[in-house]
Structures are given as structure tokens and as C-alpha cells.
Amino acid sequence: MAEPELPLREVYVQPGESHLVREPAVLRTVLGSCVGVTFHVPRLGVGALCHPMMPKCPPALSAGLQIDAARRYVDFAIREMASQFDRLGAKRREVVVKLFGGNDVLMVSGENVQPTIGRQNAETALRVLSEEDFPVAASRLGGDHGIHISFETVHGAVLLRRLDTGAARNSLRTIKRGPHRR
């Protein structure tokens, strides 16, 4: 694919949304306990970002939910994105998947504390990606701060920025294709 000459279109993906693009773009979002899953198929020039907020869509709700509401759930959002890539003719092993978020941004204390929503989101995402036969090329899961991600769909690079109260402590990292990191 040729390098774009103009600035890339930017799309902000809100919590509970998914966005697939077939042209060069930058997909952005901010994550706390939510997860952000990027999908990149270089052969097709396609990229996508989903930003689900809750781990599992309750079976009783799934039958009656509109697709936009169901995208709030990690399991539904990933499976729905898998269906979109299937319709485009992408093979699962050629889809470069990167996974972010699942942070514990709210203080949790006490004995017998249940797993946090961030941890549940991360675990559900890893499980469903595995079930759907998507290898995870890179990930940054957990932590106690939110992150801003920018996914550039031309090369598949993801830029992370940690959100802190102290601007001097913000850090930038570019996540490229590589082995699964946790």
C-alpha cells in the first residue's frame, strides 16, 4: 500500500463502539477498565478498533439487544468483529491483533475482593480471541492508570500514552508487531 500524502483521517472511538476502516486512518480512544482491541489486515488495507466496556453479554439480554448496545460487551464485540473480517475474506492468522486496557483505575481494597471489571475484561478478551483463533501480536493489560491509544491503520502501529495527574510522568510507547506481551 502506498504511503498516504495527506494527513490521515482521525476517528475517536467512544466506549461501547467499534469502528472498521478500509482507508488509511488513525483510530483513537481512552481506556481505563475497558479494553481496546485493534485489528489490522495489511493485505486488505483494513483496520478496526473495538472499545467494549463489560466482559460478558448476558444470554438473556443478547437476544433482545440492538447491535450497537451489544458492542458494549467484550465477547460480543470481538465475535462481531470476527464476522466482519470473515465477510471481507480475511484469514484469522493474517489479522494482526493487539489488546490494551483492562486497568484497575479505581482503588479496590478489602478481603475476598472479586476480580475487578478491568481484570474480567482483559481475561474475557484473551479467552474470546483465542476461541476465535486470533493470535495476539502485542498487548498491554492491567495497571492502575488509564491510557490513550492511537492506532494508525497504514502500518498497524499503536501509540500508547499513559494518563497521569502529572503531565511530566506521561510516557509514550509505540507497540509494533511482536510476541504476546502481558
**Residues in contact with 34: Cβ distance below 8 Å, sequence separation at least 6, in sequence order:** 15, 51, 52, 53, 101, 102, 121
CA 29 to chain centre: 9
- How do residues 28-59 score in pLDDT, each as one tens digit? 999 999 999 999 999 999 999 999 999 998 77
Q: Which pLDDT does position 71 carry in this prediction? A: 87
Indicate the CATH number for domain 9-175.
3.30.1330.200
Q: Which pLDDT does position 109 carry in this prediction? A: 63
Q: Which pLDDT does position 59 carry in this prediction? A: 74
- How do residues 1-14 score in pLDDT, each as one tens digit? 555 566 889 999 99
Q: Which pLDDT does position 180 carry in this prediction? A: 45
Query: CA 120 to CA 123: how far, in whole Å?
Result: 5
The conformation of residue 139, written as its DSSP 8-state character, comes to: E
Bridge partners of 36, per DSSP, are 100
Residue stretches of the chain with pLDDT short of 70: 1-6, 60-65, 106-113, 165-182
Q: Are 51 and 16 in contact (CB under 8 A)?
A: yes
CA angle 22–23–28, rounded 5-degree value? 95
Query: CA 27 to CA 39: how far, in whole Å?
Result: 11
* Cβ density class 8-17: b for 16+ within 10 Å, e for less: eeebebebbb
Do the strands 9-12 and 25-31 form a parallel or antiparallel pair, or are they unpaired?
Answer: parallel
- C-alpha dihedral, 61 to 67 to 73 to 77, nearest 10°: 140
